[in-house]
Amino acid sequence: MKGVLRINPKKYMEAFVPSPDGSADIFLDGIAARNRALNGDVVVVKVLPPEQWKVLYQNVLKFGQLSNWELIRSFLAVGGDLNERTLASQMVPKAPDVIVEAHYNEDDEVIGKMKNVVFIFEQKHSRAASGFLKFLPNKNFAMFSPVDHRIPRVNLPLADCPADFVSRPGDYENTLFICRITHWPADNNFAEGRLAKTLGQAGEIEPETEGIMTEYDVDFSEFSEEVLNCLPQDLPWSIPAHELSRRRDLRKECVFTIDPATARDLDDALSCKQLSDGNFEVGVHIADVSYFVEDGSVLDQIAGKRATSVYLVQKVIPMLPRLLCEELCSLNPLTDRLTFSVIWKLSPEGKILSEWFGRTVICSCIKMSYDHAQSMIEAPDKHFSAEELPPCSPNHRIHEIQEAILDLHNIAKQLRAQRFEGGALQLNQVRQTRLQSGHLLYHQRVLVEEFMLLANMAAAHQIYRTYPELAILRRHPPPQSKMVDDLQEFCDQMGLDIDFNSSGGLHRSLNENLGNDVYAAARREVLTHTCSRAMQMASYFCTGALKDENSFHHYALNVPLYTHFTSPIRRYVDVIVHRLLAASLSDQHCEHKEVHKLASHCNDRKTASKRVQESSSELFFAVFVKECGPLDSEAMVVGVLDQSFDVLVLRYGVQKRIYCNSLEGLKAVHFRKVGKRPEMTLVWEQGDPSKESTQQEISIFTLLDVQLKADGAPMKYSAVLKRPSAYV
């Protein structure tokens, strides 16, 4: 069977491949079991016969009683991957790779436990890493030690090192380098590689950021002249008359954008007007990127390779040149712009009465921020002055814009309610989006989001109806069934009434059954975190590659067909969808251009972009802790292991692991499991030796006081449990 390898970043000896039926994960124990595959690689694995498995059970299990897949599932941890649990407390293989070994060629035999157990079907990992050099006396090579412990240490030629490295190795102890693996012998724990670049001092933002981007193979180079020459050279650019004549002219309509105040790439706009029959004409207008990005051009090739813009804390690595993102395609106010629109006739309740797709031209009358729109929603009777808002077109009164926003808000509420009543699920985990004066800022874009979802669903139906073998859609499989069963049992034992039977039931119970006190949101976040670990990733796919329409379903949205249409400035899939839509409207024949391979590539780049964004946020928060810490906060326990526990730090929205062996004054740790519920007792020494030790109970949802403080290593910080004052 084939699958994507996931290596536990906290326990790099453990790795997983999803089972073909999506019910659970297959566990690979030890580096040898991976046969030099790296995180993200597509690998082929084969399950050993049950009689070759060596398992430590608290209760005796006879291998003959269960099928292979039941046995595999029995290895899987409650509520998530085995990587978040203590192997000793569950079922543990006695030796590496006794659970899974694999080969690829049909003529090969399943051989030794330490050899040839995984065939690398496709290398997805970049084979690049940031890390540090270590001098090895009496050797003609140096050792490279990656920051990411999932990547092996690498031997590289001394000739690649700085000229004075041999004589002054201490000068480079804190210098970050980039190394690329060139070869990894099958009989060696160390890979071979070449030093690619000196990044700079560890702990500094830019070298660390470049290291992250290089590891995830993000192309952050400047666009070449050849690429830029694909765009109009005569600026300022105006829409050619012949192009205007081919489009529906909406420039006199009240169209506006709603985005974060600092946004520069405005790729979606909205319009709404009430009709004489009491219904509404609602439009979603998306920047027509495909007009400028000609299929097969050099610009198209580089956009396809990048596949997505990458959003770092301090900057954006754009998929397309800034001239296109921020000028030619950005729906800037008071400027004629080319768009691809979907326009509906909607009832006040949000029922679609009619639908129209087509290429259009608009002139946005105002650039609204989320705050501006929210102010209008919160004060519907207020008359806003021109001074309170951004520059507005003289052709549209402020009151007209406010009415449109209020109508859109009311329809959006109806659409949202219908979505969740119909069974949609939203697992929004807390995340820091921006640091400012020590506070984390969050944005809601509910109003805009509802109409973007509606447009994406409409586009999906249109392209699939026309091109059933070539449409590129987005699917979201249901959660792994074994994990859901274990989660249900865990919640039952915790006294939580959580419905896992459907996405809608899960959404309702997460939002209704966790109380309404000051810590309800924290409990919801903890449970959301737990539930998210059972969820599978959403992914793009070509409809011709999957024959069963039931597998097209999007679990979280609970809709049969979904795609991405609304962000072509930053997502290449949306550009492809625009081209398919344009072809469908003119009954053009669409050629097969390896859509399945393209979908797979976009999945890879989207995942990499997400990891880079998370790493960037973690990097900046580590700097924040170093500059402003130590930071005190309440925290809620998310998970309990045998010698550590994970907490959600409530004030800052970060999750950290607290290791018991790092707690001063801790005398003993007692871990136990009550059914599926892990619990821990901490035994604290008393300040007064004459008094007995005091105990502190730790379990899911326990509230604790913690402190975040910088570690000795660059860009690292840890969470420490503050010893309860009563025990000091």
Phi, psi of 633 (to 5 degrees): -165, 155
Q: Phi-psi bin for 515: left (phi > 0), alpha (psi -120 to 50), beta?
A: left
CA gap 177, 711 in Å, rounded: 21
**Residue 260: burial class (beta carbons within 10 Å; 0-12, 13-18, 19+):** middle
Helix/strand/coil percent split, the chain, to 5? 30, 25, 45
Distance separating alpha carbons of residues 553 and 546, to the nearest angstrom: 12
Question: Which is nearest to 43 in space by CA: 107, 109, 124?
Answer: 124
Element (H, E) at 574: helix 572-585
Best CA proximity match to 724, nearest among 688, 697, 690: 697
Does residue 717 contact residue 709 with C-beta atoms inside 8 Å? yes
CB atoms within 10 A of CB 319: 29
How many C-beta atoms lie closer than 10 Å to residue 84's C-beta?
20
- The Cα–Cα gap between 97 and 15 comes to 10
Phi, psi (5° rounding) for residue 361?
-130, 135
Residue 236, CA atoms < 13 Å, CB-side half-sphere: 7
CA dist 658 and 719 (Å) reads 6
Three-state helix/strand/coil letters over 514-525: CCCCCCHHHHHH
What's the CA gap between 455 and 412, in Å, rounded? 13
Residue 267 is assigned to a ligand binding site: no
Chain-centroid distance, C-alpha 542: 21
- Single-letter amino acid, residue 114: M
Pull the structure tokens for residue 709.
């403080």
What are the angstrom distances between the C-alpha of 504 and each of 9, 425, 511?
32, 6, 11
Q: Are 577 and 350 in contact (CB under 8 A)?
A: no
Closest C-alpha among 138, 142, 97, 144 to residue 117? 97
Q: Determine whether 185 is exposed, middle or buried from the number of CB atoms within 10 Å of its CB (0-12, 13-18, 19+).
A: exposed
- Among 324, 332, 291, which residue's Cα sits nearest to residue 306? 324
CA 518 to chain centre: 28
- Answer left, alpha or beta for residue 278, where phi above 0 means left and psi between -120 and 50 means alpha: left
8 Å CB contact between 707 and 632? yes
Q: Does 259 show up as a binding residue in the annotation?
A: yes
Which residues is 672 bridged to in the sheet? 679
Structural contact between residues 121 and 43, judged by C-beta atoms closer than 8 angstroms: yes
- Locate 482 and state its tokens: 């074994």
| Strand partners of residue 674 | 677
Report the binding-site residues for Mg(2+).
Answer: 259, 268
Report the binding-site residues.
Answer: 259, 268
